[in-house]
Chains A and B, each alone.
Chain A
C-alpha cells in the first residue's frame, strides 16, 4: 500500500484518468489493427489506353469482392483506392500521395510502360511494393528494374518468344520478308528491337518498320507501302486502339498477308469486330482458356458486368490475388518481407494449366502464354468469341524461363 499512500489526490486522479482513457482507447487501437488493408491502384482511364484501364478497374472491383467474401486478408477487409494515372508525371504524384497521405500498403496497376517506370521509382524511394499489371517494356525488367517493383504483366520478350514460336512453326521466318509498323514510344521501340533481334537470329528480313505516333488514326499511307513491299508477314508493334484502327484499315485495303503482332489485348480484337479481325496473336490470358478456374472467373465477371473479361481485367484481378496470398503468408504488409516472399519461388494459381512464380532476378512473373487465332467471319457466333485460343505455347515439359530468353532491356541489378 506504500504506493497509494505516497501518492496525493491529484496524482491518483491523474493515474486513474489515464487508466480510464487507456481502457477506452484500447478497443480503438485494436480496431485499427483489425481495420481494412488499404492498397492503391493506378491505371490510365483516359487517352488511348483508357478503355483497357476500365477493364483493369473492373478486375480490381471483382477481386476485392471475392477476397473479402472469402474473409479478407488475415481476417481484415481489403480496400483499394483507385485513381486515373493519366500520364507519367501525374502517376508519380498520385503514387506519392497514396503512399505518404493515405498510407497504402502497396500499389498495383498501370498499363503504360512510361507510367509504370514513374510509379516504380516512387515505390523504390518510399520502400513500397508496386505490382505492375500492364507495362510490357523489357527495360522495366532490365536496366530500369526496381527491387520494389514486380510484374504480373508479361514482358515484351515473352510475347515475342511466344508469337515467334507460332511464326517459326508456320515457316514464316527464315528467308521471309517482314513489315513491322511500330508505335512511336518506349513500348513500340522496345518491341521493334526485340523483333529485330528475333529476325536476325532466325534469318528473317525487315522490309519496313514505319514508326506511328500514338494518336495517329489513319494508316492508309502505310497500307499503300505494305502493298508495294509485298511482305510475307505483317507484324504489328502497336498498342491499344492503334491495333483496332490498323486491323480495320488492313481489311479495308484488302491486304491479306499473314498478320500478327508482338503485343496484344483481346479488346483490340473485339473492337475490330469479326469482319476485320484476322491473324494470330499472343495472349497472356483470354476468356476461352479451358481451365476450370479461368471459366469460373470468366463466368463471375460476365455475371457482374454482362461481358467477358479482357486480359487486362485478368491481370489486375490476379495481382490482387497474389498480394492477398503473399500478405496472408507473411502475416503482415511489411515491404521487405513481401519482397523476400515473392522472390522465394512461391507459386501462384494463375487460372492456367500450371502455376506461375516470380523470376527473382527481374521480378517478372513467369507464366504460360497462349496464341489466339481469328475465326473466319462465317464461323463467328457472337461478338465476343471471335477467335480460338491455343493451349500454352510451351510444352508442359519446357521450363517457363524459355519465354524470357533474349530479352533486350539490359541487365537488372537491384540496388541493395
Chain B
C-alpha cells in the first residue's frame, strides 16, 4: 500500500478517536466519582443527536452545538437527583440495572416522539466540502468537530486539574469519606459531574447528527466502544482515557487500511483483552482504594 494512504489512515484513526473520547470521558468521570456504570450514556448521545434536529431550525446548527449539550446536561442533573443518588452507596450491580432500564426508557421515548425511522440531518453549508493537505484529504466538517472536541477536552482537563472544583472531585474519587470529615458535601459535585459527563455525550450526539444516521438506537454501538476505551485507559485516569481513545481509533483504522476491515470492530476487543491481561487496571489506571 502507498505510504500516503497508510499515513492518512493512521491520522484518520487518531481523529476518529476524539469521537469516542467525548463519550468515554463522561462515562469514566461518572463511574469514578459515583460508582455508577452508566449504561444509559449511549441513549444520552442519541438524545443529543435529536436535540440537533429539533434545535437547529430555531437557533441554527452552531446554536445547537451550544444549547443541545446544555439541555442534555440539565437532563443529566434531573436523572442524577432523581435516580443516581439512590445508588451511590450500594453494589454497582444495581446501578447497572437502573441505567440499563433508563437506556431503554430513553430509547423508547425517542421512538414514541420521533418514530423509529432514521431522520435526515445535514452538514451546515459553511462546513461542507473538503480540505486538501498534499495527499491527505479530509472533511471540513470533521475538522470542525475535532477542534470542538479538543477545546472541550482541554477545558475539562483545566477544570479538573487547575480549579478548586477539580481538586474536590479528584479527592472525592479517591476518598469520599475523608472529604465528608472535612465538612465538604459531595452532593453538588456529583450533580455537576453527571451534568458534565452526560452533557459531553449530548455534545457528541449533536456533532455526529450530520454524518451518522439519526435513529433511536444509535447510541448502542458507541456505548460499547466507549466502555472498551474506559477499560483500556484505566479508571480515574484522564490521560489514560485520552490515550485509549486514540489507540482504539488508530487500531480500527489500521485494520481497514490493511484490508482486514472485517476485523475492524473485533480488533478493539482484542486490544482490550490484551491490555487486561498485561495491565488489569488499564494503561494508566489509578489505584482507587474503594474499588479494590
Contacts and interface: CB of A to CB of B under 8 A. Distances in A.
Interface of A: 45-48, 50-51, 53-55, 184, 210-213, 215-218, 220-222, 224-225, 227-228, 241, 244-245, 248-249, 251-254, 267, 270-276, 310, 383
Contact of B16 (A210, A220, A275): A220
A303 B158 CA distance: 55
27 contacts: A51-B118, A51-B215, A213-B265, A215-B221, A217-B212, A217-B213, A220-B15, A220-B16, A222-B261, A224-B8, A224-B12, A225-B9, A225-B257, A228-B4, A241-B215, A245-B212, A248-B210, A248-B213, A249-B139, A249-B211, A253-B137, A254-B129, A271-B213, A271-B214, A276-B122, A310-B117, A383-B120
A95 B218 CA distance: 28
Contacts of B252: 221
A51 B116 contact: yes
Nearest to A53: B116
A222 B256 contact: yes
B142 A54 contact: no
List 10 A-B pairs, minimum CB-CB distance, nearest first.
A273-B120, A271-B118, A211-B262, A221-B256, A244-B213, A210-B261, A241-B213, A213-B265, A51-B117, A215-B221
Nearest to B262: A211
A219 to B, nearest CB: 9
Contacts of A47: 217
B185 interface: no
B102 interface: no
Contacts, number: 128
Interface in B121-178: 121-123, 129-130, 137, 139, 141-142
Given A217-B222, A253-B130, A273-B121, A54 B115 contact: yes
Contact of A217 (B123, B218, B256): B218
Contacts of B19: 218
A62 B108 CA distance: 23
A408 B50 CA distance: 41
A46 B108 CA distance: 10
A217 B117 contact: no
Contacts of A45: 116
B5 A272 contact: no
A215 B256 contact: no
Contacts of B213: 217, 241, 244-245, 248, 271
Interface in B210-266: 210-215, 217-218, 220-222, 252-253, 256-257, 259, 261-262, 264-266
Nearest to A181: B261
B2 interface: yes
A216 B218 CA distance: 10
Interface of A, helix, strand, loop or mixed by DSSP: helix
Given A222-B261, A227-B137, A267-B117, 14 more contacts: A47-B217, A50-B215, A51-B117, A210-B256, A212-B262, A220-B142, A221-B261, A224-B137, A228-B2, A228-B5, A241-B213, A253-B137, A254-B137, A276-B122
B76 interface: no
Contacts of A254: 129-130, 137, 139
Contact of A248 (B4, B117, B211, B218): B211
B120 to A, nearest CB: 3
Nearest to A55: B117
Interface in B79-123: 115-123
Contact of A272 (B2, B120, B222): B120
A184 B9 CA distance: 21
B73 interface: no
Given A54-B117, A221-B256, A221-B257, A273 B13 contact: no
A3 B214 CA distance: 81
Given A213-B264, A215-B220, A221-B13, A252 B141 contact: yes
B129 to A, nearest CB: 7
Interface in B1-30: 2, 4-5, 8-9, 12-13, 15-16, 19
A248 B211 CA distance: 5
Interface string B30-58: 00000000000000000000000000000
Contact of A184 (B15, B121, B221, B262): B262
Contacts of A222: 256, 261
Interface string B193-214: 0000000000000000011111
A270 B213 CA distance: 11
A55 B115 CA distance: 10
Given A215-B265, A222-B256, A252 B117 contact: no
A215 B218 CA distance: 9
With most chain A CB atoms within 10 A of its CB, the pick from B2, B122, B142 is: B122
Contacts of B141: 252
B138 to A, nearest CB: 8
Contact of A275 (B8, B122, B130, B264): B122
A265 to B, nearest CB: 10
Contacts of A211: 261-262
Given A47-B217, A220-B142, A271 B211 contact: no
B115 A221 contact: no
Given A241-B213, A245-B213, A253-B139, A217 B221 contact: yes
Contact of B253 (A213, A221, A252): A221
B91 to A, nearest CB: 29
Contacts of B2: 228
A274 B122 CA distance: 9
B2 to A, nearest CB: 7
A322 to B, nearest CB: 25
B259 A210 contact: yes
A221 B252 CA distance: 9
Contacts of A54: 115-117
A254 to B, nearest CB: 4
A32 B266 CA distance: 54
A49 to B, nearest CB: 10
A227 B4 CA distance: 12
Interface string B272-287: 0000000000000000
Nearest to A241: B213
A225 to B, nearest CB: 7
A101 to B, nearest CB: 26
A228 B4 CA distance: 9
A310 B116 CA distance: 13
Contacts of A210: 256, 259, 261-262
